[in-house]
Amino acid sequence: MENLLRAKQLWCLIDPGIIEPEVGIAQFEAMKKKLEELRAKDLQVKHYLYQTIDRITFEQILDRRTSKAIWVSLKKRFAGNERVRKSMLQKLRRDFEVLEMKIDETIPDYFGRVLTVSNQMRSNGESMTDVKIVEKILRTLTEKYMYMVVSIEESNDIEAMTIDELQSTLVVHEQKFKKVERDDEHVLKMEDGERYGTRGRGRGRGSPRGRGLGRGRSLFNKETIECFKCHKLGHFAYECPDTKEANFMGFDENEEIMLMAWVDDNVFMAQNNEECKNYLWFLDSGCSNHMCGVKDKFVSFNQNFTIVKLGNNSRMNVSGKGNVKLCLNGAKFVVNDVYYVLDLKNCLLSIGQLQQKGLSFLFQSNICKVYHPDKGLLF
């Protein structure tokens, strides 16, 4: 309302308002004409104010003669005294502190929620700088934006970043996330179509007819299938529950495959130096579990036999699981839930498993930086 009155050059009727002449003092004709013009404009301002209030409030301020008197009355009624403002500010501070981005919330929606509370705090006298709001948003984003937070903090000066710059940067990456999700959904639909809508001769998994043309789309009936391992009905040999296998990344429709690094010994050691190989670890984004082939590295060990299937369809026996102690840059770390695979040539640290522990990874300029949520950069 103040902005409207200033735009129409009527704010002078509110501040300072119409100055009525003292009784008994003679007025020139020009002064009388000027006063009448101000009173006519004052009626216009009162009309604007009446349009913004409800019926009950209108009846309560109907006896106010000037627009300034109406303005002062409304300000006292709705702005409240200093005690009310302090109480409101305490509530807004609490709301601001507990703000966090929801998992299914978009970047513009979250920025809107934060700025709504911030602007209310400003209107109640709180100093809300852009730096404070930017730091709040970076601190409360969801996990999928964590690598972006680390990148922004490393490459940009937070003190100089505006709210609009931060929002535009995050919106661009949010659109990339959505594109990747759409591509994944498209791939899954294609895989489902190939799985249940396969045509051709032979024993089609997507057809209830067995041999012959597999045109059907219903699921294959396994009730009469006999397992070659346990000789029970209802599943194939590769699905046999009597064979324990670790859970790794899936590629086939019914089997789970693990990706892992493999490096020729000659790349790192000219004469098959076993001591060098024993201290060689890989950060592997495709490996689903930490794995080590050197039993001496384990500080605690539990025997637990299972089978690991690799990407090339070969299999390895897992002889147990335990904890391994690593020494990096003079600091000691304990890695939990490491599989002991006797035939494994390289020791693997699963990035996925480390991310579940709260660590963040930044790949930039041929360097991988590993961050702890409390301790910062680890190595």
| C-beta separation of 113 from 141 below 8 A | no
Alpha helices in 52-162 (DSSP H): 55-60, 67-79, 82-97, 107-123, 130-139, 146-155
What tens-digit pLDDT sequence spans the chain (379 residues)?
Answer: 889 999 988 898 888 888 777 766 666 777 888 888 888 888 889 888 888 888 888 888 888 888 888 888 888 777 666 777 788 888 999 999 999 999 888 999 999 999 999 998 888 888 889 899 999 999 999 888 888 888 888 877 788 888 998 888 888 888 877 766 665 555 555 555 555 554 444 444 444 444 444 444 445 567 777 777 777 787 777 677 766 544 444 444 555 555 555 555 555 554 445 545 456 788 888 777 888 888 878 888 887 666 766 656 667 778 888 898 888 777 788 888 888 887 777 788 888 888 888 889 888 888 888 888 888 888 8
pLDDT of residue 306: 67
Residues 6+ apart with CB under 8 A from 340: 292, 293, 295, 298, 301, 318, 319, 320, 321, 322
Omega within 30 of 0 (cis) for the link into 16: yes
CB 119 within 8 A of CB 126: no
Q: Say if CB 92 and CB 68 are below 8 A apart.
A: no
Contact yes or no for 145/167 (Cβ under 8 A): no
Q: What are the backbone dihedrals phi and psi of residue 171, each rounded to the nearest 5 degrees, phi first?
A: -65, -40
- Please report the pLDDT score of residue 321 as a whole number: 86
Q: Quote the pLDDT of residue 230.
A: 78
pTM: 0.37
pLDDT at 218: 46
Q: Which of 362, 125, 145 is nearest to 137 (CA)?
A: 145
Contact 107/143 with Cβ under 8 angstroms?
A: no
